[in-house]
Amino acid sequence: MDDWFTIEQIDSQTFAISEYKHWEETHCYLLSGNESALLIDTGLGVSDIRKVVNQLTQLPVLVATTHVHWDHIGGHKEFDHIAVFETEKEWLSKKFPLSLQSVKNALTKDPCEFPSGFNIDEYQIYQGQPDRLLSDGDCIDLGNRKVYVIHTPGHSPGHCCYYEPEKKYLYSGDLIYKGCLDAFYPSTDPQLFLQSIRRIQLYSVNRILPGHHDLNISPAITDRIEKAFSALEKEGKLVQGNGIFDFSEFQIHI
């Protein structure tokens, strides 16, 4: 197997599977329970994430999607059981909102030593039928380990975070991370993004596990992101087309 993925152990039953060699620096998360395992997102799809998962667990695996963007569903093709929030079912099963060429352009926009065997000409955006549709508040029971769905639209209509009350882990997808928080696409909504951040503030969180970049971030970053969005709202700037605002440890692109 190539060395494209980096595996980091969060605890004895939780692993981060990361793609640090690419500018997106995506993170996927494998959670094991007593009866089954949950894989949150599958990354870029330029190398076989299933081989990594098989190294870490022999349990049946359900893939849970934070949102249907190309850099989070690339490895979905390697799995039989996929869950997606109901709002974005058709993005996964019928028509992805971006063209294949635009995705390829994004995938290769910065120099990258892709894994051997990867051919950009053969790259395809995953399309398929999910076998589970998620709704806000749904519980995914892995056997003595429960994960809850929190609908957090803004970055995309069906974006969701996953929360474990027992461990107080928040898998934040593209809602919270150190980097550029994007709310400028036609399918994004800066106001909903702010509302989703405020909703997350209501949860007790010991650790945030983001979708990109720095894996070790303080839960306090949520409050700083909310403060930044709120400041832009008060200034009348929380409207698409206003550009990129730099807040040092993160940026907001609207």
Condensed to tens digits (0 to 9), the pLDDT of residues 203-214 reads 999 999 999 999
Q: Please, which pLDDT band fits residue 124 given cuts at 50, 70 and 90?
A: very high
pLDDT tens for each residue of 61-108: 999 999 999 999 999 999 999 999 999 999 999 999 999 999 999 999
Distance of CA 17 to the CA centre of its chain: 12
User: What average pLDDT does this structure show over 38-44?
Assistant: 98
Q: E strands within the chain?
A: 6-11, 14-19, 26-32, 37-40, 61-64, 82-85, 132-134, 139-141, 146-151, 160-164, 169-173, 180-182, 207-210, 244-246, 251-253
pLDDT tens for each residue of 107-123: 999 999 999 989 999 99
pLDDT exceeds cutoff 80 at 2: no
For the chain, domains (ranges, CATH) are: 6-181+191-219 (3.60.15.10)
